[in-house]
Structure 1
Amino acid sequence: MTKIIASPNCGNSPKMAFLKEFNIAFAKGNIDYLIESVSDEIVWHIVGDKEIAGKEMFRSEMENMKTNKVVELTLYQILSHGKEGAVNGSMKMHDGKEYAFSDFYQFSGAKGKLIKSITSYIIKMK
Structure 2
Amino acid sequence: MTSVTLSGACGNSPKNAFAEQVAIALVTADAEQLADWLIPDCVAIVSGDEEIHGREAALGALSDMLGRPDAVTIHHAITHGRTGAVNGTLTTGKTRIGFCFVLAFRTTKADSIAAFRLYRS
TM range (shorter): 0.7 to 0.9
SS in 2 for 1:90: strand
- Do the aligned partners of residues 106 and 40 (structure 1) sit closer, same or farther apart at CA in structure 2, a change above 3 Å counting? same
- Do the aligned partners of residues 99 and 50 (structure 1) sit closer, same or farther apart at CA in structure 2, a change above 3 Å counting? farther
- Aligned positions, number: 121
Alpha-carbon separation, structure 2, partners of 1:50 and 1:97: 26
* 1:103 alignment partner, one of 91, 101, 104: 101
Preserved CA contact (<8 Å) 2:83 2:102 = yes
Structure 2 unaligned residues grouped into runs of 5+: none
Preserved CA contact (<8 Å) 2:42 2:54 = yes
Pairwise CA distance, 1:62: 5.0
SS in 1 for 2:70: strand
* TM-score where L is the length of structure 2: 0.84
Q: Which moved more, 1:36-45 or 1:54-63?
A: 54-63
What is the aligned-residue identity percentage? 29
2:60 paired with 1:72:
no
Residue 91 of structure 2 is matched in structure 1 by 92
Structure 1 unaligned residues grouped into runs of 5+: none
Preserved CA contact (<8 Å) 1:106 1:115 = yes
Residue 81 of structure 1 is matched in structure 2 by 80
* TM-score where L is the length of structure 1: 0.81
Preserved CA contact (<8 Å) 1:89 1:102 = yes
- Do the aligned partners of residues 101 and 31 (structure 1) sit closer, same or farther apart at CA in structure 2, a change above 3 Å counting? same
What does 1:30-41 align with in structure 2 at a 5 Å threshold?
30-41=30-41
2:38 paired with 1:48:
no
Alpha-carbon RMSD: 2.1
Alpha-carbon separation, structure 1, partners of 2:110 and 2:10: 19
Preserved CA contact (<8 Å) 1:107 1:114 = yes
Pairwise CA distance, 1:73: 0.5
Alpha-carbon separation, structure 1, partners of 2:41 and 2:15: 20
